[in-house]
Amino acid sequence: MELRIGWLYHTLMSTYGDRGNVICLQQRCQWRNIAVEIVRLDQAAPASLLATVDIIVGGGAQDRQQEIVMRDLQGEKAAQLRAKLDGGTPGVFTCGSPQLLGNYYEPGVGQRIDGLGVLDLVTKHPGLDTPRCIGNMVFELQPPELVAALKPLWPEAPVIIGFENHGGRTYLGNVAPLGKVIKGYGNNGEDGWEGAFHRHAIATYSHGPLLPKNPFLADWLIQTALQEKYQTAIELPKLDDRVALQARAAMFARLELSSLAKTA
Ligand code: GLN
């Protein structure tokens, strides 16, 4: 078996270690003898390349880099990405990436930039004088189908640990939230929602990077990608995640949420 991981604008969008999501997917595949090809989807890549990938990863970016990406991701590229995500290709999109998958992003300085409209959400940066949403975050996954699919993959409650750093405030329209905030700001620091979930696409403010801290999500992405590609039920062999569990327990303890941790 083989998976092609499409990595969006890897030089422009990889803040706070988001490239760790690509490394984590690659490594967890390789430990299971699943071949991986990393496909760089940058400005030079033709739109047709997008159609060939099985998982899509997009990281965060500063406003300036994000604007460059949003201007490049138009026309045929936008149509291909929309078709992939609407068609059920799994993906993980962090911070700046969900902002560009939404309807628009209003930066702290400058003009509103149109997004792809794959996710019915908008993001507004209230201005450079307004404090950013920064810190460790914890949230509980909400989409019932995702929670059900994760149950056999992970011994804990479906709680995500991450780190956020964003100026933009995101407001959801007709799209499911990814999670409910337990600690941190989430989408906007007001309504308690974090991220968004569409078909098999995870949109989140959680850097960390997300997947090494929450490896069950990586496995869900891999399993879903294989099932979509090979059209057959896939059960992934378990990996030894004791170190990840210990790291999670340490973070839960630091955030005074020890009751959420399980280490065995
Ligand atoms: N530019 C966006 C914001 O500040 C995204 C930041 C990020 O990706 N970390 O809201």
- Is 95 one of the catalytic residues? yes
At residue 263, the pLDDT reads 52
| Residue among 29, 95, 133, 198 flagged as catalytic | 95
Q: Report the atom number in ligand 1 closest to the C-alpha of 107.
A: 1
Residue 200 designated active-site: no
List strands edge to edge, sheet with 179-183.
Answer: 159-166, 133-141, 179-183, 193-194
- Give the number of the atom of ligand 1 that is nearest the alpha carbon of residue 63: 1
CA R_g for the chain: 17
Measured torsion, CA atoms of residues 232, 224, 263, 181, in degrees rounded to the nearest 10: -150
What pLDDT does 155 receive? 75
User: Is 179's C-beta closer than 6 angstroms to any atom of ligand 1?
Assistant: no
Nearest to 179 by CA among 167, 162, 197: 197
Domain boundaries, the chain: 2-260
Residue whose CA is at the smallest distance from ligand 1 atom 6 = 166
Q: What is the pLDDT of residue 88?
A: 96
**What is the CATH code of the structural domain delimited by 2-260?**
3.40.50.880
Question: Does the CB atom of residue 113 touch ligand 1 within 6 A?
Answer: no
pLDDT at 251: 94
Active-site hit among 125, 166, 198, 207: 207
Full pLDDT tens readout for the chain, 264 residues: 999 999 999 999 988 889 999 999 999 999 999 999 999 999 999 999 999 999 999 999 999 999 999 999 989 999 999 999 999 999 999 999 999 999 999 999 999 999 999 999 999 999 999 999 999 999 999 999 999 999 988 877 899 999 999 999 999 999 999 999 999 999 999 999 999 999 999 999 999 899 999 999 999 999 999 999 999 999 999 999 999 999 999 999 999 998 887 654
Ligand 1 site, residue 165, Cβ cutoff 6 A: yes
**C-beta of residue 6 within 8 angstroms of C-beta of residue 50:** yes
